């Protein structure tokens, strides 16, 4: 199966009207949208998503932020989408993110950094299973041979 990643537009991204802009960047790159939903998650769910960070001092604030409003949960597919998705997103701290990246263009504080992207194929598979228990959509783009040689 082609590589997939889990991308989430965080509550600040939704509130600030960045959903279309962010989806557009992934679409224009050539990645395929295989899952999409606007969803407000509860505390246990957010704690599960960020369970690897449970010992961090910012964990509670991070969970509060993620449950503070709806998020846009997505699955994107394509060659190298996990690593390249992280490049489109930019560094964790938006002030260190390059201009041209999503965080570099649209964010300032690390605790309001607009978007999440899986950091490895392994965590992508775990996160997709958590957020899309029904499984991603199954469709093929008719443009495939114009994007891949």
Contact call for residue 67 and ligand DGI (CB under 6 A): no
Q: Which of 46, 49, 82, 116 is catalytic?
A: 116
Burial of 107 (0-12, 13-18, 19+ CB in 10 A): buried
Give strand ranges (E) for the chain: 4-9, 32-39, 71-77, 115-117
Contact call for residue 62 and ligand DGI (CB under 6 A): yes
Please say if 116 is a catalytic residue. yes
For 99, the 3-state DSSP assignment is: strand
| Pairing label, strands 115-117, 4-9 | antiparallel
Question: Interface residues for ligand DGI in 24-53 (CB under 6 A)?
Answer: 53
Residue 56 is labelled as binding a ligand: no
- Select the span of 21-29, 77-85, 109-117, 134-142 touching ligand DGI (CB under 6 A): 109-117
Residues near ligand DGI (CB under 6 A): 53, 58, 61-62, 92, 110-111, 113, 116, 119
């Amino acid at each position: 199966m082609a590589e997939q990643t889990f991308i989430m537009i965080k509550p600040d991204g939704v509130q600030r009207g960045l959903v279309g802009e962010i989806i557009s960047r992934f679409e224009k790159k050539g990645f395929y949208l295989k899952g999409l939903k606007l969803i407000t998650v509860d505390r246990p769910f957010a704690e599960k998503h960020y369970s690897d960070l449970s010992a961090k001092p910012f964990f509670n604030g991070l969970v509060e932020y993620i449950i503070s409003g709806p998020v846009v949960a997505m699955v994107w597919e394509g060659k190298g989408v996990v690593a390249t998705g992280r490049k489109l997103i930019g560094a964790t701290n938006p002030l260190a993110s390059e201009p041209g990246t999503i965080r570099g263009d649209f964010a300032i504080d690390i605790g309001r950094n607009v978007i999440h992207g899986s950091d490895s194929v392994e965590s992508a598979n775990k996160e997709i299973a958590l957020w899309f228990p029904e499984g991603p959509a199954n469709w093929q783009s008719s443009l495939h041979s114009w994007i891949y040689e």
